[in-house]
Structures are given as C-alpha cells and as structure tokens.
Amino acid sequence: MLRSRAHPHAFTMRCTSIMSARLAVLLSAALLSSACEITTQLGQECLLIKQDPNNPGESTAILEREILPGQDFISFGVTDCEDLVCVRDANFAADPNPDAQAKGYCSQDCVEGSGKSGCSVTDTSVAENIRNRITCRSLLLDQASLERLRQEDPVAYRRTFGENNSPYFARSS
C-alpha cells in the first residue's frame, strides 16, 4: 500500500498565508479608520519671518514693532508650519514688548467659498479663540491684484509669494 505523504511544511505554509491575509485585512481596516484622524498644524503658533537683508537667501524673525496694529500679515517659508505659511490676522493679540518676535498661526491656502469646511482645525491644542474662528478668506490682496503682480514681475512674485497663486488662506475672522 502506497501512502501519499504531504510535504512537511504544507500545513505551515497554508496557515501562514491565511494569517498573512488576515493581517493585511486588519492593517487595512486600521489605516482606513485612522485616515479621518489626520492632525494638521493649521492654527498652531508660529513665528513670522522675513528675508534677512544682510544674508540673501536666509530669513530672520519679524519683531512686534514691525507690524502695524489692526492689520493682517502673512509670512511665507515658515518652517514651523507644514504648508510653510504663517498668518496673523488683525485681531491677533500682539505681544506688548516691541522687541519680541512676532507670532501668528499656521495657515494653508484654501478654495474661495469653502468657508469653514476647507479649514478644519484638527489639533486640539490650538487655542479655542483661533480654532473656532478659522475660515477661508482673502488675505491682503484680491485675486486680480495677485495675478497682475505675477504677470508684471514673475521673479519678484516668486520671491515674495513662492508658488502660491491664490489670495485665499485659512485665517481667523
């Protein structure tokens, strides 16, 4: 009588492939369920910067005395923020020390008319007075002015605004 012998590792290989499939399904489910929990830096505190006049290509902090009260301010290239944009709206509480580094909060470009839906603050450590007021609004310039500047001097435009083509940013209202 001939007996058929199965390969000694057949059971192990079959179990391993079943376990791999289950593991893949579990990992996929975990990743998909956490996809809605992405935390951004929108609203987090940041330091406003400008180009350093003494070191081209370098940046330096903007001081409180350099910002006029009651005005919006935007700073590009801020490494504190994932989208490299730090804003300070007209209602932002300034530091009373004129020599202090001026602060704002991380922003991002947004789509006109998206209101609060395009500007969801997901970081719970962001101050409530900022978190509850962030919405999509034009900051400083309107679209036509921004476009005119870009066409008149593309090099200066890129140096000032980077690759940004929109005046709309998430900011407190």
pLDDT digits (tens, 9 = 90+) for 89-125: 888 889 999 999 999 988 888 777 765 655 677 777 7
Is 2 within a domain? no
DSSP letters for 42-64: TT-EEE-EEE-TTSTT-EEEPBG
13 and 58 assigned to the same domain: no
| Residue 62, both tokens | 């903007």
How many domains is the chain built from?
Answer: 2
- What's residue 99's pLDDT? 97
Containing structural domain, residue 104: 45-172
Q: Are 85 and 74 in contact (CB under 8 A)?
A: yes
- What's residue 53's pLDDT? 86
Q: What is the pTM of this model?
A: 0.64
The overall average pLDDT reported for the chain is 73
pLDDT digits (tens, 9 = 90+) for 26-58: 444 444 444 444 567 888 899 999 888 898 888
User: Exposed/middle/buried for 166, CB within 10 Å: 0-12, 13-18, 19+?
Assistant: middle
Is 1 within a domain? no
